[in-house]
Structure 1
Amino acid sequence: MAHDRLRLDPATFQLPVGRLRAGHYTDAYFNSTKELLEAEGRHPRVIMQVFQKQDSLLGGIDEAVAVLKVGAGCVGPDGVWAPGFDDLVVRALHEGDPIGPRETVMTIEGDYAQFAHLETVYLGCLARRSLVMRNVRAVVDAARGKPIMFFPARHDHWLVQTGDGWAAHIAGAIGVSTDAQASWWGGRGIGTVPHALIAAFGGDTVAAASAFARRYGTQLNVTVLVDFENHSARTAVAVADALGPALWGVRLDTSESLVDEALADLGPDAPRGVNVELARRVRAALDDAGHGHVRIVVSGGFDADKIAHFEREGPRSTPTAWGPRSCAARTTSRPTSCASTGGRARRSGARSARTPACSACSEPYLTCTATLTWLTPSSVAEPAASGPKASSVGLAFAKLASPPATAPISRTTFAVSRNSAGLAPSSRPAAVL
């Protein structure tokens, strides 16, 4: 079965080619392995199988392939880099493909010394992008067709924006908040009227919204925060009265520590933050004022479960759009990002001994693993399916690194699992690169 799906050009990723080739971003033991093999004149022909251990979507595969294309090779006797990708046989699935536990998503066949120094990098690309894709898809599904925007930029390092935005786009998000996040498909960042602009207009939401609509109304759907005065229903109607058909939507983003004044009659047990009853009352206020065209966007603490809860409440309370939580590696405080449309995705992050899972959602981290099998003249064929010994534990790089034999399994934080069998190949044809 032929694959005609195009991959992103390696130039898209602006990879630091020199540093990749030098092993600057590589675990030191891979660099020493490459150096020793070359010094000893050893050129073992292997097949590397890359996999992960959850039901997920495949992300970062085009970037991983790009890393191999520009980074495989060695320094020749003349001191000049000799590219090695053309000597490898690489097969891979595509961006956004659904994948199962331990399913092979990419194979690399050839002289191990040509690409040993790249494993850390291409596995990292796959792990992060697949994580973002899986989490975004979870909220896309929960939102039941309502468009989702991806606003995680403030919660992570700026360098991750491009790839994370692409992953969210492939997973189903209809918009992102920065131009960098949209750059891989030639898009632009979009957004709403922020609290900061309202504050700059002296706390006058109507004045800020009117100025925003005059300047940007022909370029985007005008969506206005209406919780600045903590009376979302009243402010929503005031903004809609002022902007009329120029207003696309209002956004509810009440702090989780506050009760909106629209719910004051409910007494001390009134729900805090953005909740179903608040959405109902804002919807009713807009409808009663003749603004049925105005959509409601909600943000603040939403994940797939909370979105599903809102959706179950029925059409009277279901917002038009959702404010998504970031879907990226978490290294900072709890996310509070917002969105113009869509769902709020679960967030995961950098794993450490003290933080075994994301503190915001307890979502396990997605890790990608590689399995390496030595190829001998009698075992050049695709590796056969294996039993439990082919898997590894934790953040593991499982390497089938011995000729056919029965060697013990050794597992550490970054485990090396040794046995003679390979992983089951993908049941779908992989693209031949």
Structure 2
Amino acid sequence: MKEIELKLKGHIKRLTNETFKFDERIKDGWFSAVYFLKTKEITKAFKADNIITMQFFQKEHAVLCGTDEVIALIHTFADEPEKLEIHSLKDGDKITPFETVLTITGPYQNFGYLEGIIDGIFSRRTSVSTNVYNVVKAAKVSGVQKPVIFMGDRDDHYTQQAGDGYAAFIGGSTAQATHAMSEWWGKKGMGTMPHALIQLFDGDIVEAAKAYHARFPEDELIVLVDYNNDCIEDALKVAREFGDKLKAVRVDTSRTMIDQHFIRHPELMGTFDPRGVNAQLIFALREALDSEGFSHVKIVVSGGFNEKRITEFEEAHAPVDMYGVGGSLLKINIGFTGDNVILNGQPSAKAGRKYRPNPKLEIVEHELIQYSK
């Protein structure tokens, strides 16, 4: 196994193929487009002395993620990686359309077959980090940042959790639903109770919360209160039972449901959409908790939230303390492209593409790269 140390912007990052759990079949071209593999063989036979520069870019305003992973990939699977010249931005950099984020210079046959894999790493990681950055930004009003919980475990294949969690961390979310999501950046997942726990106690919110608190007394007690579709009444039941021990309540009402609060008070309806988690429900919940002296209890909302909905809640000054966001953060909407733009020191690219130098790129210093078995 190779261990790689590289210095970027004055600090040392330690990257290993164990960190990223690369599939060893990458070396055999199993995950590369076949035309890249054929080009590698043709180049070895007919153009072995070539030196090309490959550059990578995308077309959005984004938060870059994937550079560490890509550099580790290159130094794990390229032939003679120590002879390649690599310039890179770093994870977390803000990038603009067509801005060059990485260049690799060396013989095509030594690394060219990794092009599609590099595009894919950048695309997924940057999409997630940018999505998270945008919702975190939406949840910051008047200089106060409300936490965003990354809850993307059920929205994609489980093997993606570590990389997605790292990208979410780069985007600004440090509260994550699984241990795997925080594997690459050294924390552990956080969470309280699902609807399943309340079901096991026949829908009794208080008894479920008692069991949770008895088993995990050191945890902050955050209780899910929408199981019976009566958020305010159930929140008050839990608050009366636990008092100062209750940290927060979470509202996760389905968008096809109308909470019992509005059924009891039909006069409140008619000027807004009463389904699901809505700002009016959260205002009413806050007022009910405060009226009984439970102003310390925070409110967490989840269920279909994205940048647009968070912005709407914040513009309405809804009294939300924390957002839980899942599927919308995993939309892959940023695609990267790798182009060969210099051949043997001379500009050379397909029509419509060209070398785009970027003074922000930093060289990966090869003297800091160490290999050990």
- CA offsets 1:350-370 (integer angstroms, 9 cap, x no match): xxxxxxxxxxxxxxx200011
User: Are 2:244 and 1:245 aligned?
Assistant: yes
With the length of structure 2 as denominator, give the TM-score of the two structures: 0.89
Q: Does 1:136 align with 2:105?
A: no
Residue 420 of structure 1, CA deviation: 8.7
In 2: Cα distance, 1:101 partner to 1:421 partner: 14
Offset of residue 243 of structure 1: 1.8
Q: 1:326 to 1:166 in 2, by over 3 A?
A: same
State the identity as a percent: 37
Alignment of 1:345-356 (within 5 A): 345=329, 347-349=330-332
Contact residue 27 and residue 120 of structure 1 kept, 8 A: yes
How far apart in 1 are the matches of 2:352 and 2:260? 66
> Residue 105 of structure 2: SS of its match in structure 1?
strand
- 1:332-347, aligned counterparts within 5 Å? 345=329, 347=330
- Matched to 1:191, the amino acid is G
CA drift of 1:57 comes to 0.7
Q: How do 1:73-222 and structure 2 match up within 5 A?
A: 73=79, 84-144=80-140, 145-218=145-218, 220-222=219-221
Structure 1 distance, partners of 2:284, 2:194, is 22
- Out of 356, 368, 373, the residue aligned to residue 336 of structure 2 is 368
1:272 paired to 2:240: no
- CA offsets 1:328-376 (integer angstroms, 9 cap, x no match): xxxxxxxxxxxxxxxxx4x414xxxxxxxxxxxxxxx200011212333
- Post-superposition offset of 1:8: 4.6
Secondary structure at the aligned position of 2:211 is classed as: helix
Q: Are residues 421 and 183 of structure 1, via their aligned partners in 2, closer, same or farther at CA, if it must alter by over 3 Å?
A: closer
**What does 1:256-295 align with in structure 2 at a 5 Å threshold?**
256-264=255-263, 265-266=265-266, 269=270, 271-295=274-298
Partner of 1:32: 38
SS of 1:248's equivalent?
Answer: strand
Residue number in structure 2 paired with 1:300? 303
CA, structure 1 residues 45+151, in 2 after alignment: closer, same or farther (shift >3 Å)? Answer: same
Scaled by the length of structure 1, the TM-score of the pair is 0.77
Judge conservation of contact 1:279–1:318 (CA < 8 Å) in 2: yes
Corresponding position: 1:425 with 2:349: no
Report deviation, 1:262.
1.1
2:10 matched residue in structure 1: 4
Q: Which stretch shifts more, 368-377 or 124-133? A: 368-377
In 2, distance between residues paired with 1:49 and 1:65? 13
Cα deviation, residue 325, structure 1 = 2.7
Question: In 2, distance between residues paired with 1:191 and 1:146?
Answer: 17
Q: Which amino acid aligns with 2:326?
A: R
Distance 2:159 2:253 in 1: 30
Superposed CA offset, 1:95-119 (max 9, x none): 1110011111000001011001111
**1:162 counterpart SS class:** helix
Which amino acid counterpart does residue 159 of structure 1 have in structure 2? T
| Maintained 8 Å contact 1:56/1:98 | yes
Q: Which amino acid aligns with 1:293?
A: H
Query: Does the CA-based 8 Å contact 1:192-1:222 persist in structure 2?
Result: yes
Task: Summarize the Cα distance change of 1:32–1:174 in structure 2 as closer, same or farther, 3 Å threshold.
Answer: same
Cα drift, residue 2 of structure 1 = 7.3
The CA distance in 2 between the partners of 1:243 and 1:161, in whole Å, is 34
Distance in 1 between residues matched to 2:33 and 2:122, nearest whole Å? 16
Work out which of the residue numbers 47, 72, 97 in structure 2 matches 1:66. Answer: 72
The secondary structure found in structure 2 opposite 1:229 is coil
Amino acid at match of 1:102: F
Which amino acid letter does the alignment assign opposite residue 46 of structure 2?
E
> Tell me, which stretches of 5 or more residues in structure 1 are unaligned?
74-83, 328-344, 350-364, 384-399, 402-417
1:16 aligns with 2:16: no
Is 2:153–2:161's contact at 8 Å kept on the other side of the alignment? yes
One-letter amino acid of the structure 2 residue matched with residue 27 of structure 1: A
Deviation at 1:7, TM superposition (A): 3.3
Mapped partners of 2:177, 2:14: distance in 1: 22
- Unpaired segments ≥5 residues, structure 2: 1-6, 366-373
Could you give the per-residue CA deviations for residues 365-416 of structure 1, whole angstroms, max 9, x where no partner exists? 2000112123335x3xxx6xxxxxxxxxxxxxxxx54xxxxxxxxxxxxxxx
Tell me if structure 2 keeps the 8 A contact 1:45–1:110.
yes
**Count of aligned positions:** 350
CA distance in 2, matches of 1:239, 1:230: 15
**Cα distance in structure 1, aligned partners of 2:43 and 2:355:** 25
| Gap change, CA 1:93 and 1:2, over 3 Å in 2 | closer
| Residue of structure 1 equivalent to 2:371 | none
Q: Which residue pairs with 2:227 in the alignment?
A: 228
Q: Which amino acid in the other structure matches residue 20 of structure 2?
A: F
The answer on whether the counterparts of 1:149 and 1:176 sit within 8 Å (CA) in structure 2 is yes
Q: Quick one: structure 1 residues 66 and 262, their matched pair in 2 at CA, closer, same or farther if it must change by over 3 Å?
A: same
Query: Is the contact made by 1:150 and 1:326 (CA closer than 8 Å) also made in structure 2?
Result: no
More helix per residue: 2
| Distance in 2 between residues matched to 1:22 and 1:120, nearest whole Å | 14
Q: Which moved more, 1:258-267 or 1:114-123?
A: 258-267
Structure 2 counterpart of 1:97, one-letter code = D
The C-alpha deviation readout for 1:272-323, integer Å capped at 9, x for no partner, is 1000110011111111111110000111121111111111122xx3211112
* Displacement after TM superposition at 1:326 (Å): 2.7
In structure 1, the residue corresponding to 2:12 is in which secondary structure? coil
Amino acid at match of 1:30: F
1:186 Cα deviation after fit? 1.7
**How far 1:423 sits from its partner (Å)?**
3.2
